[in-house]
Amino acid sequence: MSLLTYREPGKDGYFLLMLSPKDDISEKELVNKDIVFVLDTSGSMAEEGKIDKARKALLFGVKTLRDGDRFNIINFAGEEHLMERSLIAANADGKKRGEEFINKLEAMAERISTIHLSLR
């Protein structure tokens, strides 16, 4: 555990608390996780290969899930879209479906709303 603090005289302060598990965790100490990955797929992600980097990181996250874990993926670009309506088992089939979903994700062009006024 690490704690960093900062405070200017007469002002509220800030802190950063970092907790990490021990290095030597046994298999029986591990617990199953429910994880929801969230990915921005707005137009800004098309710049400088951001979507490709994010897609690779998300693929890594899904591939490293354990069999007892469950997951889902939400992508958003003004609206959010769920991969599936509920959590997915991180077994071989679930991971395959996750990878297929991730590989289809693209940065969306920004939608521009127009308002038409009629003057009389």
> Residue 84: pLDDT above 70?
yes
3-state secondary structure of 46: helix
Instruction: Output DSSP code: residue 81.
Output: E
The answer, as to whether pTM is greater than 0.75, is no
Compare 117 and 67 and report the one with higher pLDDT: 67
Residue 109's closest CA among 86, 77, 69, 87?
77
The pLDDT, as a whole number, for residue 113 is 43
The pLDDT, as a whole number, for residue 58 is 95
**Which secondary-structure segment (H or E) carries 36?**
strand 34-40
Q: What is the pLDDT of residues 31-77, one digit of tens each?
A: 899 999 999 999 888 888 899 999 999 999 999 999 999 999 999 98
Would you put residue 104 in left (φ > 0), alpha (ψ -120 to 50) or beta? alpha
Q: Are 13 and 6 in contact (CB under 8 A)?
A: yes
Residue 40's closest CA among 105, 90, 89?
105
Task: Tell me the mean pLDDT in the region 94-115.
Answer: 79
Would you put residue 95 in left (φ > 0), alpha (ψ -120 to 50) or beta? alpha
Task: Tell me the mean pLDDT in the region 101-117.
Answer: 68
> What is the spatial distance between Cα 3 and Cα 107, in angstroms, rounded to a whole number?
38
Q: What is the pLDDT of residues 5-19, one digit of tens each?
A: 999 999 999 899 888
The encoded tokens of residue 7 equal: 């405070």
Task: Tell me the mean pLDDT in the region 13-29.
Answer: 84
